[in-house]
Amino acid sequence: MPDQIQAGTMMLYESANLQSLALEGDSYCTDWRSLGTSASSGLESRVRALGWTLFFLAGEIRAVVPAWGGHNTLRRGVKRLLARTHLLHFNCLEVNEIRRKYFLGVPYLSISANPRHIQPSCQIESMALRLQHESA
């Protein structure tokens, strides 16, 4: 189910480059698919078995969203994180933590994630090359 985002969920950008890997997932929003936590946990070994590399990028990114938006609150926060990941031209995002918090009695959702990147070579490509693969 696409709305079942939780800690450990991986989000994949739908590019021609990644479609050759035939990774299954549910459509989440424009050009992004979500893998369930069980599929996410085995993603690195599947990618490695195909001779590709799944990079973990240090530097956690966060989104904070007011929590009065009902069931769309989480979706709005995850979309913000996906937009940031896409601006960096990375094709994968791993959700680390989702916490409901309060500030002066106002509820909000804090979502943290790490950008990740899947590619065939073992050295991370430059931003220009990532952009070229993304648009191909």
Task: Tell me how far apart the 2 most distant CA atoms of the chain are, in Å.
Answer: 50
pTM for this model (two decimals): 0.88
103 strand-pairing partners? 106
* Residue 2 belongs to some domain of the structure: no
* Residue 15 belongs to some domain of the structure: yes
* Residue 5 belongs to some domain of the structure: no
* Residue 63 belongs to some domain of the structure: yes
108 strand-pairing partners? 66, 101
For residue 102, the model assigns a pLDDT of 94
The span from the CA of 98 to the CA of 64, in Å, is 10
- The dihedral sign for the CA sequence 39, 44, 49, 50: positive
* Residue 1 belongs to some domain of the structure: no
Answer left, alpha or beta for residue 89, where phi above 0 means left and psi between -120 and 50 means alpha. left
* Residue 103 belongs to some domain of the structure: yes
For residue 86, the model assigns a pLDDT of 92
Tell me the mean pLDDT per 10 residues along the chain, length 136.
78 84 84 87 88 92 90 92 94 95 94 94 86 74
What range defines the domain where residue 107 resides?
10-135
For residue 2, the model assigns a pLDDT of 47
* Residue 29 belongs to some domain of the structure: yes
How many domains, the chain? 1
